[in-house]
Structure 1
Amino acid sequence: MDIAKALAVIDRLCSGAFPAEHVRTDVGTAGPGYSIAELETSDDFWEDDGTRREEAEEQYECDRDGLGERLTERWGAPQALSLYSVLDRTVEGEDLLEPWASLSGHVPDVQLWRSTETGRWIALGVSQWNRELPFQLLAVVTDTDPP
């Protein structure tokens, strides 16, 4: 992963406007009050005995932590936020705000900072929709407070 490029994407999202509707962007997806950047995407694991998947998961967590160290230099130590309870609440029918509601379906936890310059929340997480599907390192920038 290119940390300098990932930081540039996060900086751009922190200073940019959010769209009025849900859209696909040049780096991921966005909607009212949030942007999600897909910083890195692995191969899929359809033909894997589990070894490649475990190695990829470890690598993506290391990449998240390495990028997180740079964000910690800017904004201090992150909060650890589990999204399991958010997923439970959405499954039970509670209407939670984006991006937290949809993230909870494929990102178990995030590292979370608050920008001192913009007041926006910045989150890093590792996504995987299903065991056979790719991992993604996601950066989330939002005005919406975490649930």
Structure 2
Amino acid sequence: MRTSTAQHLAALDALTARVFPDHSEYCRSALRDSGPGHHVVPLATSEDFWEDDGTRRLIVEDRYEAERDALAVLLDIRWGAPRILGLRDVLERGMSGEDVPEPWATLSCHVPDLYLWRAGERWIGLGVAQWDKELPFQLVAVVTTVDPP
């Protein structure tokens, strides 16, 4: 089932209102990744690509990027133009031994670029994630008080 931009916006609003777990709590599942100072939630998840010649994957990637961009237009109205944060460098820094805080360390493993807004004490981000070429794409939302590295 496809979700609409309005549904994504409502889910993001609910996420920004959610309290962060304390320092002793951590919750990671297919539905969310929450820890001290952050929440990461998939807003939409595609099908997988195990039996794809690459054509369908490109179409779905374009669709997920278009969904991110449509939602970003609405967030631009609220918070202005986003900062585009490239996370490949963050991944390389983490692999070189630098201590990269969450949620940035995990995000850098599967989100190449994140659209990022500052709203009060929180950072709000949108990205298109994919863990591997056969696995589904996800439109992910991030809310965190942890400054980007």
How far apart, CA to CA, are the structure 1 residues paired with 2:26 and 2:105? Answer: 14
After superposition, the CA RMSD in angstroms is 1.3
Displacement, 1:119? 2.2
Partner in structure 2 of residue 13 of structure 1 = 15
1:27–1:71 CA distance, 2 compared to 1 (3 A): farther
- Long gaps (5+) in structure 2: none
Query: What percentage of aligned pairs have identical amino acids?
Result: 54
TM-score normalised to structure 1 length: 0.94
Displacement, 1:71? 0.5
Write the mapping of 1:55-66 to structure 2, written as runs, cut at 5 A. Answer: 55-66=59-70
1:25–1:11 CA distance, 2 compared to 1 (3 A): farther
1:5 partner SS? helix
Query: Is 2:70 the partner of 1:70?
Result: no
2:41 partner SS? strand
Matched positions, count: 145
Q: Of 136, 139, 142, which residue of structure 2 is paired with 1:137?
A: 139
1:24–1:102 CA distance, 2 compared to 1 (3 A): closer
Query: Is 2:27 the partner of 1:23?
Result: yes
Partner in structure 1 of residue 103 of structure 2 = 99
Q: Of 98, 106, 111, which residue of structure 1 is paired with 2:115?
A: 111
TM-score normalised to structure 2 length: 0.93
1:57 partner SS? helix
Displacement, 1:26? 8.8
1:74–1:82 CA distance, 2 compared to 1 (3 A): same
CA contact (8 A) 1:23 1:31 kept: yes
